[in-house]
Amino acid sequence: MSLMMETADRTETPARIARHAAVPPAVSVIIPAYNVAPYISEALDSVLAQTFKSLEIIVINDGSPDTPDLERALEPYREHLVYLKQENRGAAAARNTGLYVARGEFVAFLDADDWWLPDFLRSQVEFINHSQCDFAYADALIFGESPLSGKTYMQTAPSKGEVTFESLITARCNVITSGVVARRQVILDVGLFDEELLRAHDFDLWLRMIRHGARAGYQKKVLLNYRVRPDSLSGNAIEQVERELEAYDKIERHLELTPDEREMMAAEVKRLEADLRVERGKLHLTREEFDSAATEFRAARKYHRHWKLPAVMLMLRFAPRLLLRIYRTRR
C-alpha cells in the first residue's frame, strides 16, 4: 500500500493539510482503477470541480496491467489524492480497500471512466440529509460506444416509487453505482461489498442494506455522465444479465426470504433467463450463426412468452439475412 501524497516534497499543500487534519472530510470519494488510464483524468477533474469541497479522493489500483500509464495519468493529481495499490482482486475488493481507509461520514463511489457534474456531491449530500435517508443515487447521461448514448440512465432503467427490497428485485428501482452517495457506517454495518461476487456485488450490497433497515432515495435529475465501453461490464449485455443472475442466486441462498419474496425472486429469475437467451441469440445472429440463434430464441420462449419471439423465429427460418439486416439497422 502506498500513499501517493506522501512524496519527497514536504510542502504543506491544502490536500495534505486536509488529510492530516483533526476534522475529517465529509465525503470520501472511492475510485477503483483497472485499465482506465485514458479516462481517469476526466473523473478526477470532475471531483476536483465539485462545488462541495469537504472531500478526500481515494484511488485504488487493482493490480492494473496499465499501471505505468495509470500512474503517469495520476501524476498531476498527486497532491489531491490517496493512491493505494493492491494485487488484482476485483472491483468489490478495491472498493472495500477504499472503505477501510475512508474517513468521511459519507462515501461516494465513482467508476474511473465516469464523471460527475459540479453539483453532484452538494446535491446528493443535501438530499440525503433533507430526506433523512442512508444512501441515494441520481440519474446519469449515457455516453460512449452504445446505441443508448444520449439517453439518460432512468430512461433505459427507470426508478419508480419507493426504494424497497421488492422494488430492487423487480427492477422498479435501478441503482447506478457512480451515482451513489451513502453513509459510510451503514455499509460497514452490513459487511461491505461481497468480494466473492465477481459481478453484481453492488446490487447485492444495496439489497443487504435495505434488508438491514437502511433507507434509500434517488434524484431524477442528471448529475453524472455514465460511460459505456465495449470492454466494460456495462458494455456487454450478456455479462450484465449473468451478473444479475449471480446476485439472485446468492440472495436466495443466504437471505431469509418470505414465501412471497421467493415467488417474486423466481419470477425475476425466469425473466432474466429469458433475457439471457435472447441476448445470446442476438450474438449468434450477428455472427450469422442462424441455427444457434434459433436455438437460443426457442429456449427464451420457455421462460417468457414475448410476442416478438414467434416472429423472430419465423424470420430466422425463412429470411435470416433479412432479420439480420433489420437488427443491424435498429441497433
Mean pLDDT, contiguous 10-residue spans, the chain (331 residues):
37 48 88 96 98 98 96 96 96 97 98 97 98 97 86 94 93 94 97 86 93 96 90 61 82 82 86 89 90 89 74 83 82 62
| 307 Cβ contact list (under 8 Å, min separation 6) | none
Tally: H helices and E strands in the chain: 14, 8
DSSP labels, 185-250: HHHHHHTS--TT-SS-HHHHHHHHHHHTT--EEEEEEEEEEEEE-TTSGGG-HHHHHHHHHHHHHH
Other CB atoms within a 10 A radius of the CB of residue 146 amount to 18
Beta strands 81-86; 27-33: pairing state? unpaired
Task: Determine the pLDDT at residue 12.
Answer: 40
**In sequence order, which ranges of 102-148 are alpha helices (DSSP H)?**
120-131
- DSSP secondary-structure letter at 148? T
- DSSP secondary-structure letter at 157? S
Task: Determine the pLDDT at residue 311.
Answer: 82
Separation CA 15–CA 78 (nearest Å): 9
- DSSP secondary-structure letter at 124? H
Give the three cell numbers for residue 272: 432474466
Nearest CA among 53, 58, 54 for reference residue 43 = 58
Task: Determine the pLDDT at residue 13.
Answer: 43
Q: How far is CA 252 from the centre of its chain?
A: 22
Residue whose entry in the numeric block shows the C-alpha cell 468489490: 92
Read off the pTM.
Answer: 0.81
Task: Determine the pLDDT at residue 19.
Answer: 55
Q: In DSSP terms, which residues pair with 83 in a beta bridge?
A: 59
Task: Determine the pLDDT at residue 20.
Answer: 56
Task: Determine the pLDDT at residue 307.
Answer: 64
Nearest CA among 38, 28, 47 for reference residue 115 = 47
Separation CA 9–CA 183 (nearest Å): 34
Task: Determine the pLDDT at residue 231.
Answer: 54
Identify the structural domains of the chain with CATH numbers, from first to last: 14-236 (3.90.550.10), 257-330 (no CATH)
Separation CA 315–CA 324 (nearest Å): 9
